[in-house]
Structure 1
Amino acid sequence: MFKEIRDERTFNGILNQIIENIQNGSLKAGDALPAERTMAEIMGVSRPAVREALRALELLGIVKPVPGGGNYITEDLDTWLIEPLSILFKLNNGYLRQNQQFRAALEREAAILAARKCTPLDAAELWVILARLDAAEDEKVRGELDRELHKKIAKIADNPMVYSVLAAADQLTENIVSGTRDYIMKKNNSAREVDDQHHRLVNAIINGDTEQAERCMSEHMDTIERYMEEMQKKS
């Protein structure tokens, strides 16, 4: 899995080998990495150098250390971008509106791609989520189903980068304004408005109508932004 580092900087060489092993499937989500001493011996580097690289991957959310139990590839590689994006957002003095605009652009692209790639099985799963949303009465449950619907659309889009960055942007929004979905579901008539948008969006995706899918998602993202701004004013 690993080999001696020769022509690269030590830090870069260690990082590159771990990432390459994730990319080619030799290391999968949840897998344990070899012990630091073993990695150092195989690569011909010092243990502090290995530890430094592992620490960098931990900060990126790719490696998860377990006290007394070694280092593991994170279980959820789809969301590893959350922490780096959060740091970047803060460094650029980002505001909620900017993050939402970023997320909206990704959601529109995901809707377009999903409309092109939706299979009968995908369509059935989308309808199941919608049916559960329609039947649910608890705001928190509905909020989670809303998140599940958007994740499913991003999965159907079948673009790992769009999915990962979208998951990070969505989580960042939730970190900034906690309970956005719950708030929308509690508002008079807003839940009905959002449900209608969801149904039209899913119909467009299932029918392969990319233009309508993009329009529906844009309308939905505008609605979410409106309620988020309302929440901020009340806080």
Structure 2
Amino acid sequence: MKNYELVLNRVEADLAAGRLRLGERLPGERSLAEQLGISRPSVREAVRVLEAMGVVRTATGSGPEAGAVIVAEPASPLTALLRLHLATNHLPMGDIVQTRVLLESWTARQAAERQAGVGADGRETAGAVAAPGLSDELSVAEGLLDRMDDPGLTPEAFHLLDAEFHVALSALAGNVLIAAVMSSLRTAIHGYVLAAVPNLADWDATAVGLRSEHRSIVAAIRAGQADQAATLITDHIEGFYEAARLSR
């Protein structure tokens, strides 16, 4: 085991045991080095790895804000990892499309079921009501659609809002990890999606169609129509990639 891995294992154990919590600082560089019997450069290497993993945020200096603070930012390192593997062509775009369909159809279904007040057993509960706050979250997604209605948007601006919209939808399912994965996926493939715009026969017509499909998906979720929401978002994702010739 490399020396810096000793620090990673120590931090993982302390987080799992509750000895370290979000917002708290790691022990000082000298303290960790002495406790683990390793050099201070090894500790610095470990902190750099933890920062790249989105587990800590560092600040230099000697004031109260200095040092390495425990954070939880999984989307950033996931995005970097996906972008690198996409660049090596190790992750085929077709696999990305299938993954998006799998995740987003599930999240759309879950969101619609939450909206309908469906219980954990899949049955509608008596006097079912939508999950608290879900209507407000849907309103956030609808606000993004309103911004996308601007006919003067460039394709890049449209797709940035589109990415934000899909991430907002994924958050409606209430699964933090899936929301982080979706955020990473959308960010990682943004450049590839934008580069495919010239492959579309008519961008303006495509944008009109995407706006309509987005509205239909949100309407199905708001109406608690789980099967319809899942089907609509599947057709939406596959249709765009096929039109842009990105799914091969």
User: Taking structure 2 as the reference length, what is the TM-score of the superposition?
Assistant: 0.70
Higher share of residues assigned helix = 1
Counterpart of 2:121? none
1:36–1:50: 8 Å Cα contact kept in structure 2? yes
* 2: CA distance, partners of 1:157 / 1:12: 35
Q: Structure 2 residue aligned with 1:38, among 10, 15, 31? A: 31
CA displacement, residues 20-41 of structure 1 (integer Å, 9 cap, x when unaligned)? 5556594437x65443223323
The residue number in structure 1 matching 2:80 is 83
5+ residue gaps, structure 1: 1-7
Match of 2:44 in 1: 51
Please name the residue that 1:194 is paired with: 210
Q: Which residue of 1 aligns with 2:100?
A: 103
Q: 2:110 maps to which residue?
A: 113
Is 1:28 the equivalent of 2:25? no
Match of 1:5 in 2: none
SS of corresponding position for 1:136: coil
Q: RMSD across aligned C-alpha pairs, in angstroms? A: 3.7
The structure-2 alpha-carbon separation of the partners of 1:176 and 1:50, relative to structure 1 and needing over 3 Å to count, comes to: farther
Map 1:209-224 → 2, pairs under 5 A = 209-224=225-240
* Structure 1 residues 58 and 87, CA gap change in structure 2 (3 angstroms): farther
Shift in CA distance, 201/182, structure 1 to aligned 2, threshold 3 Å: farther
**Percent identical residues:** 26
Residue in 1 that maps onto 2:170: 154
1:82 CA drift (Å): 1.5
- Distance in structure 1 (CA, Å) of the matches to 2:164 and 2:133: 16
User: After superposition, what is the alpha-carbon deviation per residue over 1:58-114, rounded to whole angstroms, capped at 9, x for unaligned?
Assistant: 443444455655444567434331223334445662233332322222222221222
Q: Report what 1:226 is aligned to.
A: 242
Listed one character per residue, the Cα deviations across residues 176-231 of structure 1 (whole Å, up to 9, x for unaligned) are: 344668998x812212211121111112222222211110110110122134327x
| Runs (4+) off by over 6 Å | 179-184
Residues 54/146 of structure 1: CA separation in 2 closer, same or farther (3 Å cut): same
Q: Distance in 1 between matches of 2:19 and 2:173?
A: 22
Q: Secondary structure at the match of 1:189?
A: helix
Higher-Rg structure is: 2
Q: Does 1:94 align with 2:110?
A: no
CA change 1:14–1:92 in 2 (3 A) is farther
